[in-house]
Amino acid sequence: MEDKIYMMPNPEMPNQCVVIDPEKCTGCNMCIDVCRTDVLVPNPVKGKPPIVLYPEECWFGACCVGNCPVPGAIRMDFPLNQRVVWKRKATGEIFRIGMKNPPPPNEKPPIG
């Protein structure tokens, strides 16, 4: 009997939850430590970006993005049904669900 263990990725899915920029990633594996669902696994090559092994199990909580020490090294690619945005007519500002600095709530009553 051999003493080898193999990890096999799940079948492909239509969306990619986590996108890692190999040029910016330092391979610190901080994203692996904070991932709640173990979507990422360490790369066997030291200093290389982690491997996204189970993308369909991602909860899209973006813990990996928020705890990454290098800005822009990892980003969350939300599915289309979670990309809800709205635009303020007066200023042209675009807002989305889950943004860090949400706008103040609308206090005006509806017209009509």
Q: HSE-up of 52 (CA within 13 Å, CB side)?
A: 20
Q: Which of 22, 25, 19, 58 is nearest to 39 (CA)?
A: 58
Q: Does domain 18-78 have CATH number 1.10.260.30?
A: no
Q: pLDDT by residue for the chain (112 residues), tens digit each? A: 577 766 766 666 666 788 999 999 999 999 999 998 888 999 999 989 999 888 888 888 889 999 999 999 999 888 777 777 778 888 888 887 667 777 776 777 777 6
Q: What does the alpha-carbon distance between residue 46 and residue 55 come to, in Å, rounded to a whole number?
A: 22
- pTM, whole model, 2 decimals? 0.64
Ranges of each domain in the chain:
18-78
Do residues 74 and 18 lie in contact, with contact meaning Cβ atoms separated by under 8 Å?
yes
Do residues 51 and 44 lie in contact, with contact meaning Cβ atoms separated by under 8 Å?
no
Question: What local confidence, expressed as pLDDT, does residue 91 receive?
Answer: 84
| End-to-end Cα spacing for the chain | 77
